[in-house]
Chain A
Amino acid sequence: MFFEPTFLAIQFLNGLQLASLLFLLSVGLSVVYGLMNFINLAHGTLYMLGAYIGLTVARESGSFWLALVGAPLAIAALGALFHVLLLRRMQAASPMKQVLVTFGLIFIGLDVVRYIWGDFTHSIETPAIFSGSVQLLGEVYPSYRLFVIGLGLFVFVALYLGLERTRLGAVVRAGVDDREVAMSLGLNIELAFFIVFCLGCGLAGLAGVIAAPVLSVYPGMDMSILVLTLIVVVIGGPGSLKGAALGAFLIGMFETFGQVFMPALASVIIYALMAVVLLVRPGGLLPVRPG
């Protein structure tokens, strides 16, 4: 049954679903690392907090959709606070200090979540219109998973158009190309990068909310996905939107098919993939500053 086309197609969709989550998560992380030279290990914490805030909003209001909008906004605001209080001061600090401080934040986040929501496993109920399944190639497939895939694609296209077609996008590209020159032409690059940073944090929150009906919500849910997200960033090329998408696609597929065909070796395969990519292209597959 492993090599039946239907089975493979279903796994492919599962891989896309994971890729979609990883993409939403890695965009923000990638931007902070690639554009601002800041290593934020606590990015996964924003994902977890997004899931929990979404959980509360969904429970109190009874609306998944309100959670889907509200939680990312709350996480974006938290990101703004994080930027002002910490990132701005620590941008010039050594990578080791950044890693240590943001590693510490992971534990603070964990305790905050335990304190507020307890040490249990929760789940957000799947929204009514996506609670059913669809017939795909004679199999039933949960329609919510297709929604997750669609949302990931939608965000990718929206970010791509935003970067290529809007004024803010042009300012960001100019700032990435040559920050000093861009500033000397009157562009407020700090502000543009700040907005991009908050957007990236909001997307991590969004990933948390959409993951909640599929994966469970529990203290430490951030750690299980953080490593994969970091690998996506490294493989794709830090700071690159297309890189994050390609990296997320590759890791989503390798992880999903690895778990199915060689569960014992799945994580080894991911690391091997990363090692190979880094050997061949140390800057990642689609680096933001080619050459």
Chain B
Amino acid sequence: MIGPGLIVENLNAWYGDSHILQGVSLAIPQGAAAAILGRNGAGKTTTLKSIMGLTPRRSGSVRLGALKLDGLPPYRVARAGVAYVPEVRGVFSSLSVEENLTVSARATQGGWTLEQIFDRFPRLANRRNHGGNMLSGGEQQMLAIARALMTNGRLLMLDEPTEGLAPTIVEELSVLLRELLEDGLSLLLVEQNFTFATNLSKKIHVLGKGRIRWSGSASDLMKDEDITRTWLGV
């Protein structure tokens, strides 16, 4: 699928008086992937939250295809097609695995259904009646992603999805995300795991102190020692 996808222009966000995001701009064509790398506290999570409409004060323009997202409440941003998997995962502990999925479901033509999700995530199917709080870390991450897919958005935003996961699960996740990309989903990935991010996404943005410091291809980034030392601390 070719289309305008996500376009973020001059995004600013504040927490109280601190000006956290200072003019972030990026674009992801529909069906493509982009990754945001950066140190702790660079503003990666704040970027995703601001796209979602979750930060208390912000300015700038966010568009998804023809839809204007800035100014919308978070639930409308989600319904417009942004599926968000937060850093905290936020699996609902008083809902069963199945309820976690069905409560988020928005049926679309050709979109994910509960059966398809259970086919793709057999471990969730086995635990469909378990409470959300009875899952391992890897299962919680899979549920958080599966739940986001159930919203049938066009853009999937993941905040440090590999954090705390065993290497085999990270590999599984990588396979899954590649499949999703092939299906035409756009991907905005926030990572500290350099290898994981560069394997999935050709386009890399380096975020430092609330600004995009560098954008380019993964291979160019590896050659640029100045950037990696200053903004990634590699």
Residues of A in contact with B (beta carbons under 8 Å apart) = 167, 170-171, 173-174, 176-178, 180-190
Contact = CB atoms under 8 A, between A and B. Distances in A.
A177 B78 contact: no
Contact of A181 (B79, B86, B94, B106): B86
Q: Is the interface of A mostly helix, strand, loop or mixed?
A: helix
B94 A189 contact: no
B233 to A, nearest CB: 29
B24 interface: no
A180 B94 contact: no
A178 B92 contact: yes
A177 to B, nearest CB: 4
A170 B103 contact: yes
15 contacts: A170-B99, A173-B95, A176-B94, A177-B90, A177-B94, A178-B88, A180-B74, A180-B86, A180-B90, A183-B78, A184-B86, A185-B78, A185-B104, A186-B151, A187-B103
Given A180-B54, A183-B73, A186-B75, A171 B103 contact: yes
B102 interface: yes
B101 to A, nearest CB: 10
Interface in B71-101: 73-75, 77-79, 84, 86, 88, 90, 92-95, 99-100
B148 interface: yes
A92 to B, nearest CB: 10
Contact of B75 (A167, A177, A183): A183
Contacts of A183: 54, 73-75, 78
Nearest to A177: B92
B99 A184 contact: no
Nearest to B103: A170
B52 interface: yes
Nearest to B99: A170
Given A170-B99, A170-B102, A180-B54, A187 B75 contact: yes
